[in-house]
Structure 1
Amino acid sequence: MATRVHFHTPDELVDLLATLIAGAAGGSKVRWRKAIGPVTQLPTWCNIRSNWRVTPRGSDGERAVVEQAAAIVRAEHPYIESQQERRGRLNS
């Protein structure tokens, strides 16, 4: 049985995206982290398909690569935990 990876923070999601893009498109993970920009957590009540988004930076080509990678990752991992969910999990 496959293990499902859950992302607890936006930073973990940025790390996954940077690793994925660096492996597929080349370049360093540091460069791609800058191109990915911040991952913003959105309220689920108004964003039912996914609760996060990226704000890519850089050239048109870099932004397109980041958007494509985000779409691929979002299909498998549409939600990240809220701070309240993390606190509850840590206090259990």
Structure 2
Amino acid sequence: MTAAQILDLLIAALMRRAGGTKRAWRLAIGPVQIYDPATHPHCNWSVSPSGNAQQNAQIERVLDDLRLSHPMVRA
């Protein structure tokens, strides 16, 4: 799984769950940060949501599920 694929999965899940457009969710999510698995052995990616309070809450809910199913990604 790559960072771009994780972002696509995240956007698709948010659109199903909360509606909205791809562009709006992409802007609210921001870039996917990838870390070295040696220093982050349980989950090597993260995002820093920058949307409004409602968007950020939805993003955090979906992130919890995605981190469990896809803890490791490549750049």
Residue equivalent to 2:49: 56
1:33 aligns with 2:26: yes
| Distance in 1 between residues matched to 2:69 and 2:45, nearest whole Å | 13
Question: Structure 2: how far apart are the matches of 1:29 and 1:18?
Answer: 6
Confirm whether residue 23 of structure 1 aligns to residue 23 of structure 2: no
Equivalence for 1:10: 3
Gaps of 5+ in 2: none
Q: Deviations over 1:31-78 (max 9, x none)?
A: 111111110001111211100001111111211111111111110000
Q: Quote the RMSD (CA, aligned, Å).
A: 1.1
- 1:56 is aligned with what amino acid? P
Match of residue 67, structure 1, among 60, 63, 68: 60
Matched position secondary structure for 1:40: strand
Instruction: State percent identity of aligned pairs.
Output: 33
TM superposition score normalised by structure 1: 0.75
Aligned residues: 75
Larger-Rg structure: 1
Q: CA deviation at 1:81?
A: 2.0
For 2:40 and 2:57, locate their aligned partners in 1 and report how far apart those are by CA, in whole Å.
Answer: 22
